[in-house]
Amino acid sequence: MAKATRRSVWWRVHSWAGLKLSVVLTFILATGTLATVSNEIDWLLTPAMRSAAPAGAPVAWRALHATALAHAGGGRVEILRAPIGPGFAAQASVTLPSGETRRIWADPVDGRFAGTTPWRNVQQVLRQLHRRLILPNALGYFIVSLFSVMLAMLLVTGLVSYKRFWRGFLRLPQYRRGRLRQFAGDLHRFAALWSLWFVAIMAVTGMLYLMASVGMEPSSASLAAPPEATRARTTLDQCLDLLRDRVRGVDIALVVLPAMSGDPIVAMGRDGAALTADNASRVAIDPTRCAIVKTALAERQNAGVRLFLASNPLHFGTFGGLLTKLLWFALGTVLTGLSLTGSIIYACRVGRELRPDGPGAMVRWRHGLGVWAYPTFGLVIAALLLLVGALSGPLAFALDDWHLW
């Protein structure tokens, strides 16, 4: 097969995949882009989430627990969380006697109450839309992560079909009147070349999620701690006071409290391992003795586990704080735009020119989708209907983990 013919085949594969699945792909990319800065969106909308406490100040876990108990209305405090970034308050997740889950916000240094909010927020909605389209867990995770294979295919076919692609890095797109198709194509190629590395990260981390969705994620190794000298019986609050001293080497970000008698306190955070989330290292503590009974530290895991642990920080850009999250948001916007401009290129290519009023191009684009319009639009519409049902009450469970089997 001649080189030009092979390039044409690769281009056709690229165009087919980018068009037929463009509706769902654009939706996943757009929700993922917003999910990157969803905590910051909530921070802007929710005064209780804001705090003037110094960044990196030690969290007063016992005071935070006491504040949460005082505002739980006789309910149970389940999780304590350190501020997720500078300017954020600490939070506690509580379950009220009615069964409702709420967030209690407090100053991380002294535990002073800042406010309470519902469990539902922008971050949770965007997260569930992006990761599983609010579909049942196993089905939703698999469908969304399967698009990582498509993303990898678009990356490879785009490069192979672009003759001497390395020259395009310095070829700035220029708009000329009446040549929208050419401008859209030039812009598409230019943006794609400069975001190659980002597309590769999204594809690889997405394929790691795909492996996890079918049970191929390696198990973390945990170690039983050596027996400690018997100490006097302690209380939960005493353990929270000693938490930072007992769990040395781990920057604690999350504390899961015992659900029943005999359960341990589980402290989660980061150790010295690079590219890990704030729950990568875990330490189980016996609350009756404040003794460590088991550890699972990220820096002691094998390469396979470390690769999976790096997937979330790399996928959402959380590894460098607000700066990398904003960079990921900008690049995610570019990636969403690539999906849209790809569709415009197709619509323009089918006809000779994009008509100024637009409907001609939309009709050609819809015609190009063919029968794929039904499953792709169907998935997005189903996700939006489930979201409406979840937010209005009848399908509230859909924003939590749920299963069909």
The string of pLDDT tens digits covering residues 3-57 is 666 767 888 888 888 888 889 999 999 999 999 999 999 999 999 999 999 988 8
Helix (H) or strand (E) holding 12, with range, is helix 3-20
Start and end residues for every CATH 3.30.505 domain found in the chain: 47-120
**What pLDDT digit, counting tens, does each position of 51-85 carry?**
999 988 899 999 999 999 999 999 999 999 999 99
- Per-residue pLDDT band for 368 (boundaries 50, 70, 90) equals confident
Any idea what DSSP says for residue 226? Answer: P
pLDDT at 197: 97
Task: Let me know how many helices (H) and strands (E) the chain has, helices first.
Answer: 14, 9
State the Cα–Cα distance between residues 2 and 239, nearest whole angstrom: 72
- Side by side, the strands of the sheet bearing 291-296 are 113-118, 101-106, 90-95, 76-81, 251-256, 265-270, 281-286, 291-296, 223-224
CA atoms within 13 A on the CB side of 24: 26
Alpha-carbon gap, residue 265 to 294, rounded angstroms: 11
What digits encode the pLDDT tens for the residues 75-125?
Answer: 999 999 999 999 999 999 999 999 999 999 999 999 999 999 999 999 999
User: What CA dihedral angle connects 370, 374, 375 and 378, to 10 degrees?
Assistant: 150
What are the pLDDT digits (tens) for 239-258? Answer: 888 887 778 789 999 999 99
**Would you state the pLDDT for residue 353?**
46
- Per-residue buried b or exposed e for 4-22, using 16+ beta carbons within 10 Å of the residue's own CB: eeebeebeebbbebbbbbb
Can you tell me whether residue 221 is helix, strand or coil? coil
Nearest to residue 398, comparing CAs of 388, 386, 381? Answer: 386
Look at residue 229 and tell me whether its pLDDT is greater than 60: no
Percent of the chain with pLDDT over 70: 90
Distances (CA, A) of 80 to 40, 83, 276, 279, 309: 19, 10, 20, 13, 22
**pLDDT score of 2:** 59
DSSP class of 299: G
Gap between the Cα atoms of 255 and 61, Å rounded: 9
Instruction: Tell which residue, 103, 90, 105, has the closest CA to residue 59.
Output: 90
List pLDDT tens digits, range 325-357.
Answer: 999 999 999 999 999 888 777 766 655 444 555
pTM of the model: 0.92
- pLDDT 10s digits, 307-330: 999 999 999 999 999 999 999 999
Pull the structure tokens for residue 181.
């198709």
pLDDT, averaged across the chain: 88
- Residue 398: what are its φ and ψ, rounded to 5°? -65, -20
Topology of domain 47-120 in CATH is: SHC Adaptor Protein (3.30.505)
Instruction: Give the pLDDT score at 378.
Output: 95
pLDDT at 187: 87
Helix (H, G, I), strand (E, B) or coil at 126: helix
Residue 342 and residue 18: Cα distance in Å, rounded?
7
